[in-house]
């Protein structure tokens, strides 16, 4: 999990219109925002667009955000809503095209391939919980708060999802 205190400090600067702190804020939070979008869209190019839109919306409404709230939670909620809206929009289109992830970095490519496999094994809600916990480092309690689901349901869903992934990946070998 990111350094919450540093993020809050950077947020205070940004709220005071000190935009020279944005790069550090962005670098500390972008991975969580990206993977929230990826858990829904499963397309890295679309997620890059959502990433940019998320931060634009965040900066546009920064004066409405209270420091007592989770800044990461707020960013994840924006990313989730934008992703869901895009998914709805694209589902209305007659041709839906999912591009493969193209990246020169083999390790990153392998990670995306593994994520793609996992996304095919799990239901969308299960996949989202796994991404939020494993990649974004959120606790089950934080995930429950963000998704507005009971903590027990999140824990149960995560454990079942991981067991399902293990079974499927072992069967593949």
User: Is residue 98 scored above 60 in pLDDT?
Assistant: no
Calpha distance 17→8 (Å, rounded): 14
Per residue in 136-155, pLDDT tens? 888 888 888 888 888 888 88
**Pairwise CA distance, residues 67 & 120, whole Å:** 37
Residue 47's closest CA among 97, 82, 71, 90? 82
Q: Which residue carries 């939020």 as its tokens?
A: 132
Distance CA 67, CA 71 (A): 7
pLDDT at 97: 36
In whole numbers, what is the pLDDT of the chain averaged over residues? 82
Q: Residue 101 corresponds to which tokens in the numbers above? A: 């992830």
Q: What is the rounded CA–CA span in Å between residue 55 and residue 78? A: 9
| Least trusted range by pLDDT, from 56-65, 75-84, 110-119 | 110-119
Q: Which of the residue ranges 38-42, 52-56, 77-81, 97-101 would you say has the lowest mean pLDDT?
A: 97-101
Query: 129 near 154, Cβ under 8 Å?
Result: yes
Q: What's the CA gap between 172 and 85, in Å, rounded?
A: 34
Can you tell me the mean pLDDT for 76-95? 78
By mean pLDDT, which of 25-39, 48-62, 126-140 is the weakest? 126-140
Residue 82, pLDDT score = 94
């Amino acid at each position: 999990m990111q350094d919450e205190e540093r993020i809050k400090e950077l947020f205070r600067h940004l709220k005071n219109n000190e935009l020279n702190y944005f790069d550090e804020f962005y670098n500390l939070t972008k991975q969580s925002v990206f993977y929230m979008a990826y858990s829904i869209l499963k397309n890295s190019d679309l997620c890059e667009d959502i990433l940019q839109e998320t931060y634009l919306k965040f900066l546009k409404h920064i004066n409405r955000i209270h420091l007592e709230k989770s800044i990461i939670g707020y960013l994840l909620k924006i990313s989730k809503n934008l992703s869901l809206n895009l998914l709805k929009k694209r589902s209305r289109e007659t041709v839906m095209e999912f591009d493969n992830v193209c990246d020169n970095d083999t390790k990153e490519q392998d990670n995306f391939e593994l994520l793609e496999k996992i996304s095919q094994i799990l239901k969308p809600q299960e996949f989202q919980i796994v991404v939020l916990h494993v990649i974004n480092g959120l606790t089950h309690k934080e995930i429950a708060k963000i998704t507005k689901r009971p903590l027990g349901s999140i824990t149960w869903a995560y454990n079942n999802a991981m067991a399902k992934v293990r079974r499927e990946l072992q069967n593949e070998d």
